[in-house]
Structure 1
Amino acid sequence: MKKTTMAKINVCTYDTVTQDIFRSTIYPKRVPAVLKGVKIGECKEKWDKDYLKEVIGKKQVKIHVSPNPQMDFIKKNFCYKTLPFDDFVERAASEKNHECFLSEDEKYYLRSLGDDPRKDISNFQRLFPVLSNDLEIPKFFDTDRFFSSVLRVGSAGVQLWTHYDVMDNILIQVNGRKKVVLFSPKDALNLYLVGDKSEVIDIENADYSKYPLFKNVTWYECILEPGDVLFIPALWFHNVTSLDFGVAVNIFWQHLEPSAYDHKDVYGNKDPLAATKAMQIVDRAITALNNLPDDYKDFYARRIISRIQSKAFSES
């Protein structure tokens, strides 16, 4: 194991961001940005542990529970449990819990789900109407492009796996602090992807013998304070660590035309339809190449890669 040594770039920060400034100056750049001074309502002052427990009460929520603060979606080092919301918040805000599922220092993480998780998107306003009255969602996008709103609550120390989303989103950090590390879409080949997730879980101490290309990534980093809003463009990889017990709300919207997305996607993590079709074509091409001797397969695979590079790669 060897600690990463690549240069770290601070995510650009903008003060007193209005709708006009975001749409004209920040959004067109298509890079992450920390937005300060954004009006988000009374939630920052209200949403402490006791208030959350009082207004949501015994509503049942499905949560991630793990003995390891570095949650790994690929290897599933966590389990799903259901708890009353007030019980979950009390546990998530505590360093140790004598009532536990796996261990006294287990970690908890909530990503709100729709009423029917198989069919319904997460709509924070509908799921938590009392809390939604406290939150003012920045009008950074056209309302007809809204996709979902997700409440996120987690224990201090929880680190979520590196992944990308196919839609633009803002992460509104209401309480607690978060460390967010981001990687450009152009680093996809360096991140050892399984679907939309990276195999490199311990990014601070990556095993270069196992993941040698990871040392080539460009690392963007920021610390979100309560009240900060982070803009994450679609396809940007992000790895999020809760430095404190924290509460946040994610708002996702469709950057592409709505017809570009899979209408059965309730989590916002299925690739656009054209991209899915292209990947299926690649899989069929690989199957066809397997009918050739190894030296022929190698030769034509290189030709295909060259054609993709010359026709589809963006060098900008």
Structure 2
Amino acid sequence: MELGTCTSKWTVDYLSQAEGSKEVKIHVSAVPQMDFLSKNFVYRTLPFDVFVRRAAEVKHKEYFLSEDEKYYLRSVGEDARKDIADIRKQFPILADDVQIPEYFEKEQFFSSVFRISSAGLQLWTHYDVGTKSEVLDVDNPDLEKYPLFVKAKRYQCFLEAGDVLFIPALWFHNVISEEFGVALNVFWKHPTAASRAIQILDRALKTLEELPEEYRDFYARRMVLRIQEKAYRNDYG
């Protein structure tokens, strides 16, 4: 499919020059395998052009933690808590190089997340948009601690420049950058009530926080029982 000129233009030199020295917030890790649970990384800020060149290096003359530290950029909105990531707003020059495939109706577009990773970096296992898995190393899982992992059906693929991978909602995935990697993740909204239900639950939980501890515990348990009774079948009798 036609993805635009990004597949040929996005070299290290082009990327570092195109968006100049605007500051970006990045993850920096002393080890290749990033762990969101133990937070084995730190957040730092660098000019975008400096960051790109560092992410493309194997050894660094300038560094935060170690000379072989790994870098990861995941673009966010201006206000990370309120604004969605949109390459057209955060990186407008690079956005002109991209043609986003029209899998869904335009009104279902949710966000476009621009990412850059150092060679060898492995992201934590997660699904979008939701939670992180405690199984960090999918190649060597702790089956005593997570015995059901052996039942998981695994799909593995290697992406090269210009390849597109469609990941269904709620599918856990784990990514390793074999070399300096640049990617654009596009998310679409589901035409369902699921997101509204989550928002309502979040508001309910926030309201519970206003209650004294013993009341909060009592009504939280009642909420759990109601969800079990109404939202899914109980297959255990």
Give SS of 2:156's match. strand
1:150-229 equivalences under 5 Å are 150-166=113-129, 196-229=131-164
2:39 matched to which residue of 1?
76
Match 2:165 to one of 230, 236, 245:
230
Is 195-204 or 76-85 further displaced after alignment? 195-204
Give SS of 1:229's match. coil
Alignment CA distance shift 1:275-1:233 (3 Å): farther
2:221 matched to which residue of 1?
287
Query: If the length of structure 1 is used for normalisation, what is the TM-score?
Result: 0.64
Query: If the length of structure 2 is used for normalisation, what is the TM-score?
Result: 0.84
Identity value in percent = 55
Higher strand share: 1
Q: State the distance in 2 between where 1:109 and 1:150 align.
A: 13
Q: State the distance in 2 between where 1:276 and 1:221 align.
A: 34
Aligned length: 222
Which amino acid in the other structure matches residue 124 of structure 1?
I
Structure 1 residues without counterparts, runs of 5 or longer = 1-37, 167-194, 263-270, 289-300, 312-316
Q: State the distance in 2 between where 1:61 and 1:71 align.
A: 19
Match 1:242 to one of 177, 180, 189:
177
Q: Which runs of 4+ in 1 moved over 4 A?
A: 274-280, 283-286
For the pair 1:261 / 2:224, whether they are aligned, the reply is no
2:233 matched to which residue of 1?
309
Alignment CA distance shift 1:235-1:274 (3 Å): farther
Which amino acid in the other structure matches residue 195 of structure 2?
Y
Alignment CA distance shift 1:286-1:115 (3 Å): closer
Point out which structure has higher relative CO (alpha carbons under 8 A, 6+ apart): 1
Residues 210-246 of structure 1 show CA distances to partners (whole Å, capped at 9, x for unaligned) of 2222222111111111111111111111111111101
Alignment CA distance shift 1:140-1:73 (3 Å): same
Residues 119-143 of structure 1 show CA distances to partners (whole Å, capped at 9, x for unaligned) of 2111101211111111111111111
Which amino acid in the other structure matches residue 150 of structure 2?
K
Q: State the distance in 2 between where 1:253 and 1:79 align.
A: 30
Match 1:129 to one of 92, 105, 112:
92
Is the 1:260–1:274 Cα contact (8 Å) retained in structure 2? no
Is the 1:164–1:234 Cα contact (8 Å) retained in structure 2? yes
Which amino acid in the other structure matches residue 309 of structure 1?
R
Q: State the distance in 1 between where 2:232 and 2:204 align.
A: 11
